[in-house]
């Protein structure tokens, strides 16, 4: 059976949080997201009309660093100027939450943790024509990248306010307990292509992107199923149409993986309880 369609992308990433107001302030002030919709204990954040993060209040315990769950939500910016402008916001409002940066060859990325430790990557892609592929695998690395130099080179002369205000969820990176079981779920059952393998990590893609999802065991090797809902609520995988959703359901049936039917999609969880909503693009 064929893998996922080339048009596959990611939609809003749901986080369950305890310190709702503090976390919401971080995503608004330091990341620059705006409130698209809200109710008590539930806030949808994004840019323009693009939903990026949904926050849901929870009173359950915080996860431990060695637990399975979210490693980071990666927010993709349309160009270097937009990313540089956001880094200025982050430096102003949350410098203590900065964790590092890297030139990944396919992208340039800057890493933060939100106030509850949910990882956040802010990144921009290099042109696809510059990505290097060999035998179906994309070349990636983690080379030094200085944030001050990046800002100085790319921030518009008119200042941060002159940059385009747009972004999407580019990829999501998850912590799991075992990479073989992760491959069986994300590649064999769901239909993602494995496009890179690193020590302790696998990277999955549809349509030749460098990765839409990744799984690692860097902190969580041997972890069992998640015991708290706090952290990752659900990853949204946007498929082009209902036929693509049905094809995923058929693959899950064949792999013996249980799932639930929801409006315009399905919900499934990996062996560690990391939940994915696979919906047609209208519902993302």
pLDDT at 282: 73
C-alpha of 25 from chain center: 19
Checking if the pLDDT of 32 tops 60, the result is yes
Instruction: Give the pTM.
Output: 0.97
- Cα distances (Å, whole numbers) of residue 93 to 52, 87, 89, 267, 269: 20, 10, 6, 36, 35
Checking if the pLDDT of 2 tops 90, the result is no
> pLDDT by residue (tens digit) across 205-228?
999 999 999 999 999 999 999 999
Distance, CA of 224 to CA of 118 (rounded, Å): 19
Q: Which domains does the chain have, with CATH numbers?
A: 9-283 (3.10.180.10)
Distance, CA of 59 to CA of 229 (rounded, Å): 9
Let me know if 144 is exposed, middle or buried by CB neighbors in 10 A (0-12, 13-18, 19+): exposed
> pLDDT by residue (tens digit) across 155-193?
988 877 877 889 999 999 999 999 999 999 999 999 999
Checking if the pLDDT of 284 tops 60, the result is no
> pLDDT by residue (tens digit) across 149-164?
999 999 988 877 877 8
Give 1's pLDDT tier (boundaries 50, 70, 90).
low
pLDDT at 162: 72
> pLDDT by residue (tens digit) across 249-279?
999 999 999 999 999 999 999 999 999 999 9
């Amino acid at each position: 059976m064929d893998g996922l369609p080339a048009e596959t992308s990611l939609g809003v990433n749901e986080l369950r949080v305890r310190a709702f107001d503090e976390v919401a302030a971080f995503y608004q002030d330091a990341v620059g997201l705006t409130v698209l919709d809200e109710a008590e204990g539930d806030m949808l954040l994004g840019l323009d009309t693009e939903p990026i993060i949904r926050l849901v209040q929870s009173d359950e315990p915080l996860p431990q660093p060695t637990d399975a769950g979210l490693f980071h939500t990666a927010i993709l910016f349309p160009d270097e100027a937009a990313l540089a402008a956001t880094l200025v916001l982050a430096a102003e409002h949350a410098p203590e939450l900065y964790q590092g940066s890297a030139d990944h060859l396919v992208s340039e990325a800057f890493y933060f943790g939100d106030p509850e430790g949910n990882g956040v990557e802010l990144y921009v892609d290099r042109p696809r024509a510059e990505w290097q592929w060999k035998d179906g695998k994309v070349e990636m690395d983690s080379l030094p990248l200085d944030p001050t130099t990046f800002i100085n080179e790319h921030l518009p002369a008119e200042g941060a306010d002159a940059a385009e205000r747009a972004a999407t969820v580019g990829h999501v990176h998850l912590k799991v307990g075992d990479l073989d079981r992760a491959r069986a779920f994300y590649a064999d059952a769901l239909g993602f292509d494995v496009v890179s393998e690193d020590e302790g990590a696998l990277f999955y893609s549809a349509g030749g992107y460098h990765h839409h999802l990744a799984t690692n065991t860097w902190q969580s090797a041997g972890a069992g199923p998640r015991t708290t809902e706090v952290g990752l609520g659900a990853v949204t995988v946007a498929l082009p149409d209902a036929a693509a959703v049905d094809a995923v359901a058929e693959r899950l049936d064949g792999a013996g993986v249980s799932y639930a039917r929801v409006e315009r999609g399905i919900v499934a969880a990996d062996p560690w309880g990391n939940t994915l909503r696979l919906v047609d693009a209208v519902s993302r």
